[in-house]
């Protein structure tokens, strides 16, 4: 099974990028192919209808659409910005949900099993961002698993390699990954 990870933060040392890597590592340990999409390298512009009308699907968007299409399951990790996911992640979702005739594409998110993760220095762990992201993903027709992991005090419990020292948070992450892999294996 192929699992694709998307982080809502490209900041160096991002807590959510670390959490995403911890999740992807657990997927690899379970015998699956699991990688994060390199948003920085893709150079995806802000969604702009005029740009789209003039040039069609940008190359970075096309590469993301191909990665989503090839994935059997998706993992999203997003910090919380004003009670929602980051504009970066929302932009990725918006561009990739578009349909293009050349090259022929559709809403690549539709029918894809998805897991939502969030990490924050705050005690709630970005839970409001996860709730908002759940609504967005449902709207683009992802099959979002009910389980999710919101890691609070992440700067204290998540080390540089993605290891989680808090047993409750680690168990929550594993339970959510298990739910995602189970759903993806059914499809």
First to last CA, the chain: 11
pLDDT of residue 187: 65
Task: Give the pLDDT of residue 44.
Answer: 94
Please say whether the beta carbons of 7 and 129 come within 8 A: no
What CATH number labels 2-186? 3.40.50.360
DSSP category for residue 72: S
Supply the pLDDT for residue 159: 78
Q: pLDDT tens digits, residue range 61-97?
A: 999 999 999 999 999 999 988 888 999 999 999 999 9
Predicted confidence at residue 163, as pLDDT, reads 80
Nearest to 149 by CA among 165, 133, 172, 124: 172
Whether the CB-CB separation of 26 and 177 falls below 8 Å is answered with yes
Residue range 40-67: average pLDDT? 92
Within 8 A by CB and 6+ apart from 7, the residues are 14, 16, 17, 20, 36, 39, 77, 78, 89
Using alpha carbons only, what angle is made at residue 89 by residues 113 and 59, rounded to the nearest 5 degrees?
90
Token pair belonging to 154: 């992440």
As a whole number, mean pLDDT of residues 50-62 equals: 92
Give me 88's structure tokens: 């970066």
Is pLDDT above 80 for 102?
Answer: no
How confident is the prediction for the chain on average, in pLDDT? 91
Bridge partners, residue 105, by sequence: 100
Task: Write down the pLDDT at residue 25.
Answer: 95
Give the pair of three-digit tokens for residue 157. Answer: 């419990």
Residues in the chain: 187
Per-residue pLDDT of 124-169, as tens digits, reads 777 888 899 999 999 999 999 999 898 888 888 887 777 888 888 8
Please compute the mean of the pLDDT values over residues 165-174 and round it to a whole number. Answer: 88
Helical spans, DSSP H, in 9-116: 15-29, 39-42, 49-55, 59-70, 87-96
- Quick one: pLDDT at residue 155? 86
Specify whether the CB–CB gap between 163 and 156 falls below 8 A: no
Query: Model pTM greater than 0.85?
Result: yes
Q: Domain boundaries in the chain?
A: 2-186
Grouping H, G, I as helix, E, B as strand and the rest as coil, residue 105 is strand
Report pLDDT digits (tens) over 1-42. 999 999 999 888 899 999 999 999 999 999 999 999 999 899
Tokens of 120: 């924050």
């Amino acid at each position: 099974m192929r699992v694709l990870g998307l982080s809502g933060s490209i900041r160096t040392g991002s807590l959510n990028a670390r959490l995403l890597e911890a999740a992807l590592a657990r997927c690899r340990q379970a015998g699956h192919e699991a990688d994060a999409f390199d948003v920085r390298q893709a150079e995806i512009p802000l969604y702009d209808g005029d740009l789209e009308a003039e040039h069609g699907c940008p190359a970075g968007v096309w590469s993301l659409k191909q990665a989503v299409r090839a994935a059997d399951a998706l993992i999203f990790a997003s910090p919380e910005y004003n009670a929602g996911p980051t504009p970066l992640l929302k932009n990725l979702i918006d561009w990739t949900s578009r349909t293009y005739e050349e090259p022929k594409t559709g809403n690549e998110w539709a029918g894809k099993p998805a897991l939502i993760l969030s990490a924050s220095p705050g005690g709630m762990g970005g839970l409001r961002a996860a709730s908002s992201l759940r609504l967005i993903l449902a709207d683009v027709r992802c099959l979002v698993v009910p389980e999710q992991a919101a890691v609070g005090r992440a700067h204290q419990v998540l080390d540089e390699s993605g290891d989680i020292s808090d047993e409750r948070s680690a168990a929550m992450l594993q339970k959510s990954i298990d739910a995602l892999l189970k759903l993806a294996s059914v499809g």
